[in-house]
Amino acid sequence: MLAAMDAPLFLVPELVRRLWGGDTLPALLGVTPPPGDEPVAEAWLAYAGSVVAGGPHAGDTLQALAEAHGAQLLGAAAVARSGARVPLLAKLLDAGLELSVQVHPGDAYALRHHRESGHVGKTESWLVLHAEPDAEIVWGLARPAGVEEVRAAIRDGTLDELLRRVPVRPGDAVHNPAGTVHAVGAGSMIYELQQASDLTYRLWDHGRVGADGRPRELHLAHGLAVADLSAGGSPHPSPAYRPDGWITRATCPYYRLDETHVRSRLAAETDGEAMHVLTVLDGTPVLAWSGGRATLSAGRTAVLPAALGAYALEGSGHVVRGVPR
């Protein structure tokens, strides 16, 4: 008999090494990094392959539970959109070096060109947690340009002259719809919420080489086919203050990214339509639900099943919440 979806699922973070990493995540999360020579750059907090840390579902992955419980875990809206598929990926990025300049496709392009991969398109949102005084991101172009002009700039190493660079500071939210040319700059730590997809087209990588000593692959045909080269829009979505005490920092057809600073007690509820993905960024708030209580430390992530119902955060802490739509 399947154990009910009546309690939070506390997840084990998964660390990932990349050549651009900053290497502060293992200490922050209290997790031993995987073997390898490159620095630790990412912590995957919640995704299909995340493993449950304890309780009746200990050792199970989110995807296995999604297939077993469907809407009880994911919510009716998520199942109606994409079936028994975990729809979100939440992670921390620690950028010691600037990331590659990249772009992601939308759903239609992903389905047309990468159907066999199982990946959908990729829209993502960032919340800047730490930024050095000179930290910046790439977001779109500084002026409109044509595909051939961009291709030529990549070829001759002058793409940087076309890129729009935006200073960032802690607390900034950034939204990257599919098609946005973007990059995280050096000296930033970022919480990222995204569609559950790993389709990335690299447009430029600053001439760096990979572990094999060769330049890393670029994906110009696909990348320039989907890139928005109009130089329009703003990277910073306007915050929306919700009546339940949360602030929506970014929203799109796929998810909502909420943030709150708990100072005493904050009541909330999963309404059956969607699961909630909670991550503590600072402090040690207590998560309370009808069946129990748990103190959460920085970096700890819990998935609250859509069937959970009422819950509350007590004490103090900085918390973010991802809600699929």
Phi, psi of 196 (to 5 degrees): -80, 80
Rounded distance between C-alpha atoms, residue 215 and residue 207, angstroms: 7
Q: Identify whether 143 is a catalytic site residue.
A: no
Rounded distance between C-alpha atoms, residue 99 and residue 126, angstroms: 14
Closest CA to 131 of 173, 163, 194: 173
Looking at residue 61, the DSSP 8-state letter turns out to be: B
Rounded distance between C-alpha atoms, residue 39 and residue 19, angstroms: 6
Rounded distance between C-alpha atoms, residue 227 and residue 120, angstroms: 16
The C-alpha angle with vertex 306 and arms to 104 and 77, in degrees rounded to 5, equals: 50
Rounded distance between C-alpha atoms, residue 178 and residue 291, angstroms: 40
Q: Which of 115, 165, 202, 265 is catalytic?
A: 202
Alpha-carbon distances, residue 176 vs 79, 122, 184, 237, 319 (angstroms) = 24, 9, 11, 10, 21
Q: How many residues does the chain have?
A: 325
Q: What are the residue numbers of the active site?
A: 202
